[in-house]
Amino acid sequence: MKFLKSTCILFLLLVISFTGNAQTADEILDGYYEAIGGRDAWSKVEGFKYTAKVNQQGMEIPVEMVQMKGGKTYTKISFQGLNIMQGVFDGETLWNTNFQTMKAEKATTEQIENHKLENNDFPDALLNYKENKYDLELVGKETFDGTEAFKLKLTKEPMMVDGQKVEDVVYYYFETESFAMIGSETDITEGPMKGSISQTKLSDYQEVDGLMIPFSMNDGIKDGPSQPIVIEKVEVNPTLDETLLAFPSEAVPTAKPANGEPGKGGDKQ
Amino acid sequence: MKKLILLVVLLVSTTLYINAQDSEVILKGKEMFGDMSARQIGPALMSGRISDLEGHPTNNRIIYAGTAGGGVWKSTNGGASFNSIFDDHIQSIGVVKVDPHDPDNTIWVGTGETWTRNSVSIGDGVYKSTDGGSNWKKMPLKGSERVSNIIIHPENKDVVYVGELGALWGDSEDRGVFKTTDGGQSWEKIFYIDQKTGCADLVVDPNNPDILYASMWEFRRTAWSFNSGGTKSGLFKSTNGGKTWSKIHNGYPSGKLGRIAVAVAPSDSNILYSVIETEKEETNGLYRSDDAGASWKKLNGDFGLVVRPFYFSRIVVDPKNPDVLVKGGLFGSISRDGGKTFKNPGRMHADIHDILFDINDSDRMYFATDGGVYRTWDGGNTLDIVSNLPVSQFYHISIDNAEPYNIYGGLQDNGSWYGPSNSPGGIEARDWNSVGYGDGFRVLKHKTKPIIYSEMQGAENVWRYDMKLNQNKTIQPLPIKGDPKLRFNWNAPISLSETHPDRIYIGSQFVHMSEDMGDTWVKISKDLTTNDKSKQNQADSGGLSKDNSGAENHCTIFTINESPIDDKVIWVGTDDGNVQVTKNGGKKWTNITKNIQGLPQNTWCYHIEASVHNAGTAYAVFDGHTKNDKNPYVFKTTDFGKSWSSIMTDEVKGFTRSLQEDFENPDLLFLGTETGLYITINGGKSWSQFTNNMPATAVHHIEMHAGTNDIVMGTHGRGIIILDDVSPLRNLTPDVLAEDLHFFKSDPYTMVEESGFGGGSSELQFVGPNRNRNARIIYYLKKRHIFGKMKMEIQDMDGNFVSELAPGKSKGINVVTWNYLTKTPKMAKGKTFTFGGFTSPRAPAGKYKVVLTKGKKTYETDLEIKYDENSVITAAERKKHQEVTRKLFDMSEDLAYQVYEMDEMLAVAEKESADNSGVKKIADKLINQLNALKSRSVITTGDNYVGAAEPELREKLATLYAKVAGGFEPPSAAELENMSLLEGTFNDGKKTLEKIKSGPWNKFSKAINTSGEELAKWKSKAEFLKA
């Protein structure tokens, strides 16, 4: 009984001192990796395959995302049984399927070079931030999604946007109680939304092979519209079909024209 | 050791005890409001006052605009468009400065505008960002009210000078020039004159950073006067980094000086320009020094240079040419001969406060005006407004009962307007209608007639505008025999009656009432103000430069409010601190000011909210800032003003201007302060600031819309901001807050039957977002959901799946919307998309279940949706619409399955044809027939744009389906005839497929199925549709 009591006090003391202390960025990361399965387990991961869905106006759109150590990645979106590849990267070439022609088109050289900078960011940009010589800084505490969170700022290698060097900064939010990452923010540096903040909210952490993975992502503009992505299945260390990554010379889907009916469906002038 | 343990135990048990006692969940701010979010709808077409502009030393795409009440905006595209980067902090900006050592990241902001007009807001110090404006840190520099300039040492980024103009409305020691040598961590006041004299301008010699020039200004504003100038004003120079300062007036006239603008030519440090305000008109004007301030020579005293020094003291010299300079002013002045002569730039909004030259091309300039940022590409001849800066400054707003409701309001120097709360394609510039000139204030819509009342400053004109005839007449009360001079406030009160549509009230020192829309006026009160004559000498206001614009008119009525419950009860508040009430329509007035305990004397009564719950209940909101008192004051009475109690807590920051009572829950109140919106759910015992997409801007007036439960705010710097449907806050009781998850009940939602066009704005024009008209599922979550699955489904009352929604996971209130849509049909796979297949049928009106699963727990609530009451569509027609939609939906899915079967058969046949020469002939025949049928069923060639093939059955069906399902009306005869045609084709195809199955397929199967192995097994239709 006495033992129990003193253990209890010790525990309370620990809690008090733990919550009372100011956290450093590294302590927060330690807490985060501890909460999601440990640094060791995450270091050993070679890749992820996410089977997900996006709901648009009542239409359920299946999405498959693969991310591999080293940077190889693709996202496959299916509409009406047709596959559209987006953000496909084989380590050298980044390409997307054009929605109109259904043919593959390369991203700009600048985008490809920027993408290559992320090759060392697997499984995320935080795990090896020191080896990658990124800067990590604790900004402070903020309320994110109604919840008190630690805000960390990660500065990666600068990117090139329209010929100009631009800092690549990600802000991460970790819930103060569980240390779970509940969101991140980056500045949008190109396109019509340039100057706005892109925000991702994470939740629904579930265990897969000893790793805690968020099964719900909500991507959007801060204080603006967003798109939820529901993950249905996560495969750790999937086999990657490398043929999917190669930049195709022609459209992915093919269908043979009907015999005996030539001339059907010619191009419009 | 034992003692220590005991101490810890005691400590711990005390904490636990306190926690147990205090079990009521108290939530604050974002934790309570969750993902409820405000909607900023602009407008931006007339924009608002810009106080300062700043460029980037090497990248001309980056421009910052500091605004009078809308924070800091950043452009990354050379001023084509801007984004707000300072929402969380006080919105009145004095200066923005980019650190030349780290120009991409380090930005300094000095808050508190220095163009000290009557309606100017306040700042609270200096902020610094080291990440390009994403995050800001407040510097520990004792809170100054306004910052005139920040100078970053060109050779040492840690050395920074700050010029503080300081308090406008009272004495203060927080003025002068401050210096940090450690990047802002510690500060030293290095130049100070007295409590009345602040630093109005601070410049550095770009070629010798030890040389600084400071213009010091003796100035003061009261609610009834303004004084610019005194013996302490002067221009000073330091040659040792601010250690010592000496006056440089050689060539200036003697006597008192007012506000002084000063500039050093960046390309020649010896050339200085200053514009000075002096005792005599003939000595006012532009002075030039060619010897770094040792002597001055007057060059020019044109109107454009000397007009309103307190508002326009800025000189900007072309960075490349010392003889090209621009001075802010009513229209602005440009000189190209070193200040000898000036001309005005081209047409833009009047009142120019700052000018920015492009770093590479001096013909490209930016102007900060009372009406936004203007750009020129030809040295100022022609100008173009930036169309996406929604920093309009409303003095007051009102709303009507139209559907969607409109918002009416008047703006600082930008007239009066009304515009909709919703518009097809978003709320665009073209949706706003002008209904008054000058400074606009109260704009009110007649309850029943197409009449709008609006006014300009000091009730110089009160317009009665007939919207139908497009005619206006001015109706302001005019003096009659025996009247003293009528004193109208700059922002004169006009109000209407809830019960008598033609009644209108206007306040001078008297309450004027008209029962015939302003044609006949009756004074229904005596002078209700203090009528203090010492506060009525506006003709002498201004100081060295007379400035009698009417802005300082005082001892006037400021707010008039007839009780919505009893039209004989009228509450009046005056700018000199009186609160008066009548219970008999004006026959007898009682001054109830003295009953308000804790209110300093003569504090401006800004608003009285006459309660909708009780005629004797009112809230009086006071604003003391013109007496240099920035405390919030809100008092409540329930006995017609006999007694009052304060409902303020120290949670509320900034002085108070407006209050809105909830129409249902008397404890739910919305308070507008100089730094944002505050909400209480317990009658004022505790307050929370609402910050979700709601900047810390001054909220001058708040209205509530009864039909939508929207809170509509007129802000003085960020236009109109709406908080849609606040009804969930009504039910945030302690019991609810203690639940893990609580669904709020809602009224049935209407599926609005509109399908118009809209969206004519360019991408550089501001478009305000519309109210979301979807059904809203609102719930409170005690804790943010992080671990485990959380899912939300709409089901019919029998539990059948209707739609899946993405639930919100915020701590606090979550709002999930449902667009009334069910799922899309599964379409046949073709070579391309069929866009009609992306349409989902709408759910029929009725009750639905919302099922939320969170981990192992399930929570349920009901939701009702109904048809548009304004619809002309009959129940029978709706039934027909649903039947035909369903039929087309089913046909599309049937066809999808047929094509799937064809593809499965083709796959086997093609394989055998290639591998098995024995059956090649039979297989090829089968393949030909299948392909022929498939090519009539679905597109098999082409692309999704101009390479598209001719539509086949799938595409034709989908097009008709989308046409019917997407509309509201029953299918037309043409559509039914078209369906009948397609149905024929569909049936033919179906028959053909059956024939192929029983004929060639059967034959083929038998031919290859010699070993008895299973030939082809594909999904059943149910499996196929589910996949």
Residue spans per domain, chain A: 23-238
Q: How far is Cα B898 from Cα B616, in angstroms, rounded to an integer?
A: 74
Local structure of residue B594 (DSSP, 8 states): G
Cα angle: B373, vertex B375, B380; to 5 degrees: 120
Any residues with CB less than 8 A from the CB of B213 and at least 6 apart, and which? B201, B202, B203, B204, B205, B235, B236, B237, B238, B248, B262, B264, B272, B293
Burial of A262 (0-12, 13-18, 19+ CB in 10 A): exposed
Cα angle: B425, vertex B426, B431; to 5 degrees: 100
Q: How far is Cα A208 from Cα A219, in angstroms, rounded to an integer?
A: 22
pLDDT score of A8: 43
Nearest to A255 among B5, B831, B833 (CB): B831
Nearest to A146 among B31, B77, B935 (CB): B31
Contact criterion met (CB below 8 Å) for B892 and B957:
yes
Give me A93's structure tokens.
């070439």
Q: How far is Cα B176 from Cα B972, in angstroms, rounded to an integer?
A: 77
pLDDT score of B108: 98
* pLDDT greater than 80 at residue A13: no
Give me B610's structure tokens.
């006459």
Long-range contacts of B793-796 (CB under 8 A, 24+ apart): B793/B850, B793/B851, B794/B818, B794/B843, B794/B848, B794/B849, B794/B850, B794/B851, B794/B863, B795/B848, B795/B849, B795/B850, B795/B851, B796/B846, B796/B848, B796/B849
Sign of CA dihedral B215, B217, B223, B224: negative
Say if the Cβ atoms of B74 and A195 lie within 8 Å: yes
| β partners of residue B851 | B793, B860
Nearest to A146 among B83, B804, B812 (CB): B812
Chain B residues with beta carbon closer than 8 angstroms to that of A153 = 131, 135
* pLDDT greater than 50 at residue A17: no
* CA B62 to centroid of chain Cα atoms: 23
Residue A217: closest C-alpha in chain B:
B806
Can you tell me the ipTM of this complex?
0.85
* Residue B790 near chain A (CB below 8 Å): yes
Chain A residues with beta carbon closer than 8 angstroms to that of B834 = 80
pLDDT score of A99: 87
Number of Cβ within 10 Å of residue A70's Cβ equals: 13
Q: Which of A164, A203, A212, A213 to mutate to test the interface with B (most CBs of B within 10 A)?
A: A203
Say if the Cβ atoms of B8 and A268 lie within 8 Å: no
Residue A190: closest C-alpha in chain B:
B76
pLDDT tens digits, A219-260? 999 988 889 999 999 999 999 999 999 998 654 444 443 333
Q: How far is Cα A233 from Cα B134, in angstroms, rounded to an integer?
A: 35
Q: In what order do the strands lie in the sheet with B589-591?
A: B557-562, B570-574, B579-582, B589-591
Mind telling me how many Å the CA of B938 is from chain A's nearest CA? 11
Number of Cβ within 10 Å of residue B187's Cβ equals: 18
Q: Domain residue spans in chain B?
A: 749-867, 878-1026
Chain B residues with beta carbon closer than 8 angstroms to that of A196 = 83
Q: How far is Cα B743 from Cα B219, in angstroms, rounded to an integer?
A: 57
Say if the Cβ atoms of B803 and A58 lie within 8 Å: yes
pLDDT score of A22: 55
Phi then psi for residue B376, to 5 deg, are: -135, 150
pLDDT score of B6: 35
Residue B80: closest C-alpha in chain A:
A192
Chain B residues with beta carbon closer than 8 angstroms to that of A251 = 943
Residue B87: closest C-alpha in chain A:
A223
Any residues with CB less than 8 A from the CB of B594 and at least 6 apart, and which? none
Say if the Cβ atoms of B8 and A9 lie within 8 Å: yes
Contact criterion met (CB below 8 Å) for B938 and B828:
yes
pLDDT tens digits, A55-70? 877 788 999 999 999 9
Size of interface A-B (CB pairs under 8 A): 192
Q: How far is Cα A66 from Cα A79, in angstroms, rounded to an integer?
A: 18
pLDDT score of B1011: 57
pLDDT score of A4: 41
Nearest to A58 among B74, B134, B823 (CB): B823
Amino acid at A39: R
Query: What's the full length of chain B, in residues?
Result: 1027
* Residue A178 near chain B (CB below 8 Å): yes
pLDDT score of B636: 98
Cα angle: B343, vertex B344, B350; to 5 degrees: 160
Give me B338's structure tokens.
């070193």
pLDDT score of B305: 96
Mind telling me how many Å the CA of A235 is from chain B's nearest CA? 17
Nearest to A204 among B788, B803, B934 (CB): B788
| β partners of residue A68 | A47
* Residue B1000 near chain A (CB below 8 Å): no
Residue given tokens 């007649």 in the structure block: B446
Say if the Cβ atoms of B105 and A167 lie within 8 Å: yes
Contact criterion met (CB below 8 Å) for B926 and B901:
no
Say if the Cβ atoms of B76 and A261 lie within 8 Å: no
pLDDT score of A100: 87
What architecture is the B749-867 domain classified under in CATH?
Sandwich (2.60)
Its CATH class, for the domain covering A23-238, is mainly beta
Say if the Cβ atoms of B5 and A145 lie within 8 Å: no
pLDDT score of B16: 33
Residue B129: closest C-alpha in chain A:
A139
Mind telling me how many Å the CA of B725 is from chain A's nearest CA? 17
10-residue stretch averages of pLDDT, chain B, 1027 residues long: 36 34 61 90 97 97 97 96 97 98 97 97 97 94 90 96 98 97 97 98 96 98 97 98 98 98 97 98 97 98 96 97 97 97 96 97 97 97 97 98 96 97 95 96 98 96 97 97 97 97 98 98 98 95 92 97 98 98 98 98 98 98 98 98 98 96 97 97 95 97 96 98 95 90 94 85 94 94 95 96 94 94 94 90 97 96 96 95 97 97 94 90 95 94 81 95 95 97 97 94 84 70 90
